[in-house]
Amino acid sequence: MNLVLEEFEHIIHAFPEQVMQISEEDFDVKVDPFRWSKKEILGHLIDSAFVNYSRFIRAQFEENPKIYYDQVEYCKSGSYQYAEKLQLRDLWSSINKQLLFLFKQITNKNLTQRTCNDHSLAFLMNDYVSHLQHHRGQILI
């Protein structure tokens, strides 16, 4: 689990500056009306962070809560395409710093014995960081 936390911490420190180095034009462009722009992908990562924060909080005191979301509707409803890059970057950074803090507070026992959506918190933590790496790659290409 330490490697996952180290990778997450590395992303939190490096990614915000990398986002700011992307030109506004490249960040906003939609190459296909049915695909997200880089800006909307960042918005999706914000949605993911908020939903996962709720998963990790609730799973510590509820029995296997079921917490899902419609990522397309969340992104659409968040109007990320029209938000300022700096605002999105700061929101992403803030929620992910808090999520990292939360990850570090969860005991090893809770990582393996508490669940959400029928998955252990350890699985969900690994999955969250993998998901983040995947979309980070899409943004930085």
Q: What is the pLDDT of residue 32?
A: 93
Cβ-Cβ contacts under 8 Å for 132 (sequence gap 6 or more): 8, 11, 45, 48, 96
pLDDT at 5 over 90: yes
Confidence of residue 134 (pLDDT cuts 50, 70, 90): very high
- Asked if 92 and 37 touch (Cβ cutoff 8 Å), the reply is no
Q: What is the pLDDT of residue 44?
A: 98
Of all residues in the chain, the percent with pLDDT exceeding 70 is 100
Q: Would you state the structure tokens that stand for residue 17, as one six-digit string?
A: 């500056």
- Asked if 39 and 28 touch (Cβ cutoff 8 Å), the reply is yes
> What residue type is 105 in one-letter code?
Q
pLDDT at 1 over 90: no
Cβ-Cβ contacts under 8 Å for 85 (sequence gap 6 or more): 19, 20, 22, 24, 27, 39
Confidence of residue 97 (pLDDT cuts 50, 70, 90): very high
Distances (CA, A) of 50 to 6, 18, 37, 89, 125: 20, 22, 20, 14, 14
Using DSSP, state whether 32 is helix, strand or coil.
Answer: coil
| Tens digit of each residue's pLDDT (9 = 90 or more) over 11-68 | 999 999 999 999 999 999 998 999 999 999 999 999 999 999 999 999 999 999 999 9
Pairing of strands 119-120, 115-116: antiparallel
Strand partners, 120: 115
Q: What is the pLDDT of residue 52?
A: 98
